[in-house]
Structure 1
């Protein structure tokens, strides 16, 4: 996590520490990471030249291995080649392809949204 990504999270945690009704701030964090995820998706669409369902392993496989002609990842047992985070991290390390950077950044933003805002918001009673 970069300092830029860390700052709103730290601010949110400080609000929780000093101002228990920090629900509004956590809502703004969720909106921040949701917008960041959408920006990453839009950037991925631009690199690919079309929109796709970034949550679909089948759509990612077509984009990565057929359209972008990237090296194949490890075969998964039921759905062709793996598009899980570890496989995409390895593929990105090998290729440094910008489409993969945007997909991974989007996944990170969605993870941050879920882990650091949705769950913390639910913890505020």
Structure 2
């Protein structure tokens, strides 16, 4: 159960954060340079605020907490992308997938011929024979 605090229980977060979070999205768009990423980050930051509502409801600046959390998420994503790019530079791109072999194509073609209900049982018998 969520206790009542300065912002009024469960509905407090809804009152503090606007229904249209375009201001937060605009701030994070400036950080990320991508509208879809900014929207995802605002959603994630709002979800994190909601899950921590019992502790956050006594804070005076909830919107600032969500904005700061969003900024930290954006930095984390940037660092993860930079690390991935560094790894790709060191190790090169992943190898191209080879064409499927006849050994994997034949069972799939055979499974397409039987009813869907029997398919999972048949596949289990093929994969894990006794």
Structure-1-length-normalised TM-score: 0.30
Larger-Rg structure: 2
TM-score (norm 2): 0.29
